Amino acid sequence: MKIRKNENMLDRLIRVLIAEVFLLAAYFWFGGIPAIVLYILGAIMLITALTGFCLLYLPFGINTLQKYPGNTNKIFILIFIVLLLVIAVAGTYFSFFFSKKFFLNDFNAMNNYYKQTLLNTGQDKREISIDNYNKLVAEYNKFYSKYTVYHPYILKKDSKLNQDLTNVLQKITSLKEKVYTGDLKKAHLDFEEIRPVFQDILKRNNFSLFAVNLVDFHDSMEKLIDASDKKNAAGVVAAYGDANSKLISVEQEANDEEIKAIRTKVEELLALAKSGKADELSKKAAELKSSFIKVYMKRG
């Protein structure tokens, strides 16, 4: 059966542009049922544009087949090509940029309470730990509910994301009793187990290398601090190599005054250890940790 067209050239070109917008939105911004709906709408727009026939026009007696004078259709096609390219290039770029930005905003809002809880349990501060823990639970539940259902473009290929987010949720939930009435130092160690999970999510999805490298350095730095607190000069020298390597990675991403302060403390620790001044190691290690926390709380 021959299809009787009821769309003119302008109508058909506009449908292609609308289809392009739907498909970009589905690919970059939505997941699950909303994405499927947008893909279907995009496909419908493309099919009706290609056939020149719109079934919805029939009940209303709509027909846009009127002809335009002269070279009007050629002008429409030229404008269409320009708009098609602009939407494709600009839509892809801004969708990639802002979907990544919005995810990081959500992550940082949640991660800030995680860092505060981690810090205060480590310092054995019960009241403020409870306060930050409650805020962490609320913020993480929002983050979990959103990103186990919605995977923006930057997370689409991450098959491990939902399981990782579920594991973190279970870990956070299980620590309530320790935070409220238990051993905060042990709670701190349990919270530390969450950090590598966040780190791995960021790593495998190509997020800020500065933040990832800063967290990598933290583990090596803790070995330096542990050896210093034990007045183990040989241990400090042994731990320096790995810490130095990880810090170089941080410096390659950013080497401002705050990072230089960390570098200074690391080198001073090494100098003290090599000169046998074991009694001064712990104090210098505390200065190093203070410099690191300052950066981590703001930018980690």
What are the domain boundaries of the chain? Answer: 9-94, 99-207, 209-300
Per-residue pLDDT for 299 more than 80? no
Query: Given this model, what pLDDT does residue 68 score?
Result: 67
* Residues comprising the chain, all counted: 300
Question: Given this chain, do its domains 99-207 and 209-300 carry the same CATH topology?
Answer: yes
Residue 252 has pLDDT above 70, yes or no: yes
CB neighbour list of residue 185: distance below 8 Å, 6 or more residues apart: 121, 122, 124
Across the chain, mean pLDDT equals 91
Confidence of residue 298 (pLDDT cuts 50, 70, 90): confident
Q: Mean pLDDT over residues 211-232, rounded?
A: 90
1.20.120, 3.40.50, 2.60.40, 1.10.10: CATH of 99-207: 1.20.120
Single out the residue of 224, 257, 229 nearest to residue 240, CA to CA: 224
Q: What's the pLDDT score for residue 157?
A: 87
Tell me the C-alpha distance between 28 and 153, whole Å: 5
- Tell whether domain 209-300 is in CATH 1.20.120.660: yes
Average pLDDT over residues 154-162: 91
pLDDT in tens, 129-147: 999 999 999 999 999 999 9
Q: Where are the alpha helices (DSSP H) in 175-231?
A: 176-180, 184-192, 195-204, 209-229
pLDDT tens digits for range 61-96:
888 887 666 677 788 888 889 999 999 888 888 887
pLDDT-based confidence at residue 1 (cuts at 50, 70, 90): low
Going by pLDDT thresholds of 50, 70 and 90, the confidence category of residue 2 is low
Instruction: Give the mean pLDDT of 183-210.
Output: 91
Report which residue type is found at 245.
S
pLDDT per position as a tens digit, 261-270:
999 999 999 9
Residue 157 half-sphere exposure, CB side, CA atoms within 13 Å? 5
